[in-house]
Structure 1
């Protein structure tokens, strides 16, 4: 089977592993910055698929997205008979990130780290402006989005002993078990969730109906002790409202892993219009919450499994369309 791989991470770190596990297939590795035609390829692996790609595909059977997001996948351009599947396996890594970020921000560890590097001991006993940190036992965690990521985050937070949890999602619980949550509803109760929570874990995709979903009113409801952890998509949160809330102290802090601007390659690109990096109460990371080695190895398993399923005519994992 002829397979074109156009993914930076796979090519740099996992090329030999994938070739060893598909010894009878013809793998063509393509630089993501200089896409090649898909002529003859039955499988395409990568994070981006366009109408231009589809125009060169004459035998394509599977677009295997190299991650969970479909932002850069033009599903309308899929050739007749071609399927599209994506990958998960990042939920545990993201849950670890969300838990760690919450601890860092609730206990002011970012501020204290930066202060001590300058010789300033920012503790309640030595610095009048500092308050005691809060551990997880008093945290009420709200989940905006409760799919793979939200549920795994909740399991980890629950094991860590948080006080309570609740969730809103696009479809609500729809009869599914609450798994220890106090309640789970649709987005009509978004404001209720923000008002009832100390920590918000946001994992929604950016799509019609979720853009700027979190604005000034929701952040004000979260309150001055509130923490926002965004591992979904940047534009779900109004960046103007978020910057203002963080600058003014309307919320305590935020961990932002997903952004408003991204580089095409390795160039230097500011992730937002506002200078979030100048704020002491923000943990900024470059969309890496799920990008651990364990995530990539598990995804490699699923890529190989889907290719074998395609070869033998069995149902594909994580089928998006087809």
Structure 2
């Protein structure tokens, strides 16, 4: 790509990878990193007639119908992450605006973290690390769990769920999953009901998308079904879990533990989960690898090049 006389404005309305993407854009583009601007539309105003694409991420500016109406030339919305909850899909469809995400790009990375969280919870690795650092060798005498033979359930069998299942096969752990419909060619046991799955497993992985359809899907009833020997591992979206119900279940010993990489109101994490001795918490780092970031940025550049290939605005 070579420099064009008038750089193409590209609003970047989410914080994740904003600086990395800006640095990777060819000189043909003018990145407008405005996710934290108090009045970003005022800053966009001079560029509105030329904005054909924008970039967003979950946790950034909501891309709603009102915003789309103010960008009459908008053709493409690129969400760097896997979800679409920050985009009004109905409004985009009504306008004929294409919405593309990074779904699947970091599935392997998220799955790897999920497996690590499971091992750490079962073997209490995070507790043992603290004891050694505090010179309290062997202070924690609580029995740990052998993973082989433990029953695993995966809620959500998309790219991340399938990547988790693939890695679990090496642990000799029977696998079941919950989804609206069975996924053809998968050899695992399908449950059409989440409570049925929770009742049948020891470790419940959550790899579900956010949005109203899954809001607080994991509630007190699901946690009760999982039982006092059960663990929850969430690498999907924080809104899937009723965090108040989870904290109560942990405090009452209704489940054995919870490992969470996502939360409903990030970056705020409920004190009840922070203070619980039976939680392992991560700051939404599932897809946070150099490899995934490079692939997501490369895919974004490819998609932008495709949009402008038919015009003289960008020369490849």
TM-score (norm 1): 0.82
Note the C-alpha offset of 1:208. Answer: 3.2
Q: Which of 52, 70, 73 does residue 87 from structure 2 map onto?
A: 73
State which of 198, 209, 234 in structure 2 corresponds to 1:230: 234
Q: Deviations over 1:172-215 (max 9, x none)?
A: 215x112x31x1132x2x22211221111101123334222222
Q: How does 1:1-322 map to 2 (within 5 A)?
A: 2-6=8-12, 7-19=14-26, 23=27, 25-34=28-37, 35=40, 36-37=43-44, 39=48, 40-47=50-57, 48=61, 49-78=63-92, 80-88=95-103, 89-122=105-138, 130-131=142-143, 133-158=144-169, 160-169=170-179, 171-173=180-182, 176-178=184-186, 180-181=187-188, 183-186=189-192, 188=193, 190-263=194-267, 270-272=268-270, 274-312=271-309
Work out the CA distance in 1 between the residues paired with 2:171 and 2:296: 30
- CA distance 1:259–1:142, shift in 2 (3 Å): same
Using a 3 Å threshold, how does the CA distance of structure 1 residues 75 and 199 change in structure 2: closer, same or farther?
same
* SS of residue paired to 2:214: coil
- How far does the alpha carbon of each residue in 1:46-104 deviate from its partner, in whole angstroms, 9 at most, with x for none? 22323343233132111111211222212344373321111121111110110000000
**Mean Cα displacement is larger for which, 98-107 or 207-216?**
207-216
Structure-1 separation of matches of 2:132 and 2:228: 24
Output the CA distance in 2 between the equivalents of 1:286 and 1:271.
9
| Distance in 2, Cα, partners of 1:76 & 1:196 | 37
Assess if the C-alpha contact under 8 Å between 1:111 and 1:281 holds in 2.
Answer: no
Aligned length: 290
Structure 2 unmatched runs, 5+? 1-6, 311-316
Retained in 2: the 8 A contact 1:18–1:300? no
Deviation of the 1:3 alpha carbon: 4.0
Judged with a 3 Å threshold, the aligned counterparts in structure 2 of structure 1 residues 108 and 26 are, in CA distance, closer, same or farther, namely closer
Cα deviation for residue 257 of structure 1 reads 1.3
Mapped to 1, the partners of 2:21 and 2:72 lie a distance apart of 27
Considering only aligned residues, what root-mean-square deviation do their CA atoms show, in Å?
Answer: 2.2
